[in-house]
Amino acid sequence: MKKITITFLFIFILGSIFSQTIVSTSPMNKIGILEEFTGIHCGFCPQGHTIANTIKNNNPDTFYIINIHTGGYAVPGNGEPDFRTSFGSSIGQQSGLTGYPSGTVNRHVFSGTATALGRGAWESSFNTLKVQSSYLNVGVEAEINIATREITVHTEVYYTGNSPVNTNLLNIALLQNHTTGPQSGGNAGNNYDHNHRLVHMLTGQWGETINTTASGTFVDRTITYTVPIEYRGVLVDMYQLEVVSYVAETHQEIISGKGAEVTTTGVLLQNDANIYNVEISKGNCDLTISPEFYIYNGGQNEITALNIVYNINGGAAQVYNWTGSLNSLKATNISIPQTNLNLENSNTIDVTIINSDGDMANNTFVKNFTRDEFLPETTEDVHVFIATDNWGYELTWNIKNSIGMIVASGGGDGTNGSAGSYANNSTVTETYNFPEGCYVLRVNDDYEDGGNAVAIRTTDDQNITYIAGGYGAGDDVSFKTSSTAAVANHSFTKVSIYPNPSSGVVTFTQAKDLKVSVYDIFGKEIFNSELLSNNEELDLSNFSAGVYLVNITDGNKKETRKLILK
């Protein structure tokens, strides 16, 4: 995406050759900017939305709302829209919020030390602020070309007084209205009407600097920005955009601002099919992929059929003929049937829509992905890292091998107090050593609202793969293990284990300062020790008869031996 900022800064007095067009030069009181922290799983947030909208309806030109989806309540479950942004977390954290819904009114501290306020304090705080004089005024207007998706935002700031600080920060928030989606407590299922939803900060996380802040300063800034087809998978409706421009003294105190609906201009082509993304299905042990092609209709006419040609790693071209209905300015995902993947270190899928339309430049998309991205692989022990939420007992998980046998599992039966249940807000790590092969990690949530992430990690705590939080009823991910035999090391050649088979007491020779870990047939670590002498005995008689794997580790090098207990 391309952004161009053109800045003009003038110091002038009334009657000079410079004149503003959309901002008042007369002293005015402050305009209210409510940053409302919310989330689709927050049951009391609809009450907050109602309170904010009531204030807005009573003060249409002096109060503006920015709905920021952030925090745990904003984490989507499987199939739910992701209304979060990369900006919301930092804005929320600096406010000191402790519950939802919360909001800041001009990021001002009205009591205590935090700027975050409960919903019951928003109106009284705004009433206090709106009678205060402001040393600057803001004007804003915006339009978007629906053919090019380029938005132009024109903001003017006029200083009727002196700022107490030498620099101020100009912020421009891009919002979208009337997005339907789920909302706890909204009594509308998946059709709750989300408004004033922050989708992007056009001026970055904390805004662009205004370097002159004396009385009489006139700031004129125009920003152009190409709006993407979607943010985090949520389609942008170009007819439902608004902007809010505001000026802050720091990352906190907002002095004043102004909002405006985005008007539309431009003419669509008659026909314009656009492929704007390709997603590859998660890795699986049979190395098949089910790619998804993301298609956008940027033209006036309905699309009812598409001829799509694609190839993987330069292989034979494959054709997929799609039929359906895709209306103007709408998007759809086209799932392609499974195809075998000849996995390489680096892989490419090249997709082209061959239908003739008015803009062939957006008919091709190339997706690159690596083998580790598709099916991650490790030569180290497998660490299952579990971070529970407020309802740890709801989480259960298992790992299956390539023939569908469960080789590891955890959690109770999904009910509170069941044996093996995880504690709330806790962190648990289970360590395994699996034979070479392909495995599937499955995570389940009994309440079907997901939880925190569950990860497969290496010995040095790096993620191999993971299931992100908010996984609804459950999710799964695949990974591979390779031989755990390390690069040959002279110290291992001298190590012997006897007797083997053993009745329980085992002697390790020439093993001083080496580490020994013993795993059962399911890969569960049952014993570990650092050997302190060259002829050290280990008593394993408490373990059942059977076959075990013994990892002998020397720093970063490792060798695996088989041990039989009888």
pLDDT, one tens digit per residue, over 261-307 is 999 999 999 999 999 999 987 778 877 888 999 999 999 999 999 99
Task: Please report the pLDDT score of residue 171 as a whole number.
Answer: 98
Task: Please report the pLDDT score of residue 378 as a whole number.
Answer: 86
Task: Please report the pLDDT score of residue 91 as a whole number.
Answer: 97
Residues 365-378 have pLDDT tens digits of 999 988 888 888 88
Distance, CA of 434 to CA of 457 (rounded, Å): 13
Task: Please report the pLDDT score of residue 489 as a whole number.
Answer: 40
Q: Domain segments of the chain: what residues?
A: 3-265, 273-373, 377-481, 490-565
Amino acid, res. 532: L
Where is pLDDT greater, at 47 or 416? 47
Burial class (CB in 10 A: 0-12, 13-18, 19+), 533: exposed
Amino acid, res. 101: P
Residues 106-157 have pLDDT tens digits of 999 999 999 999 999 999 999 999 999 999 999 999 999 999 999 999 999 9
Q: Is the pLDDT reported for residue 517 higher than 70?
A: yes
Distance, CA of 84 to CA of 68 (rounded, Å): 7
Distance, CA of 244 to CA of 262 (rounded, Å): 10
Q: Is the pLDDT reported for residue 26 higher than 90?
A: yes
Enter the tokens of residue 362: 């957006």
The helix or strand, by DSSP H or E, that contains position 158, with its residue range, turns out to be strand 150-159
The structure's pTM equals: 0.77
Query: Any bridge partners for residue 140, and if so which?
Result: 155
Question: Which CATH fold topology does 3-265 show?
Answer: Immunoglobulin-like (2.60.40)
**Lowest-pLDDT choice from 28-42, 193-207, 260-274, 511-525:** 511-525
Task: Please report the pLDDT score of residue 284 as a whole number.
Answer: 80
Task: Please report the pLDDT score of residue 502 as a whole number.
Answer: 87
Do the Cβ atoms of 146 and 264 come closer than 8 Å?
Answer: yes
Distance, CA of 560 to CA of 555 (rounded, Å): 14
Closest to 560 in 3D by CA, of 535, 525, 533, 532:
525
Do the Cβ atoms of 492 and 508 come closer than 8 Å?
Answer: no
**Is 377-481 a domain of CATH 2.40.30?**
no
Task: Measure the CA angle with vertex 293, ends 287 and 297; round to 5°.
Answer: 175
Provide mean pLDDT across the span 394-411: 88
Provide mean pLDDT across the span 443-467: 83
Question: Which CATH fold topology does 490-565 show?
Answer: Immunoglobulin-like (2.60.40)
Q: Is the fold of 3-265 the same as that of 377-481? A: no
Where is pLDDT greater, at 382 or 81? 81
Provide mean pLDDT across the span 501-524: 81
Do the Cβ atoms of 289 and 260 come closer than 8 Å?
Answer: no
Provide mean pLDDT across the span 235-259: 97
Alpha carbon 156 to its chain's center: 34
**Is 273-373 a domain of CATH 3.10.20.30?**
no
Q: Could you check whether the bond before residue 501 is cis, i.e. omega within 30 degrees of 0?
A: yes
Q: Is the pLDDT reported for residue 159 higher than 90?
A: yes
DSSP collapsed to 3 states, 59-79: CCCCEEEEEEECCHHHCCCCC
Q: Which string of DSSP letters, residue by residue, matches 420-488?
A: TPPPTT-EEEEEE-PPSEEEEEEEEETTSS--S-EEEE-TTS-EEEEE-S--TTEEEEEEEE---PPSP
Residues 182-191 have pLDDT tens digits of 999 999 999 9
Task: Please report the pLDDT score of residue 20 as a whole number.
Answer: 62
Q: Is the pLDDT reported for residue 557 higher than 80?
A: no
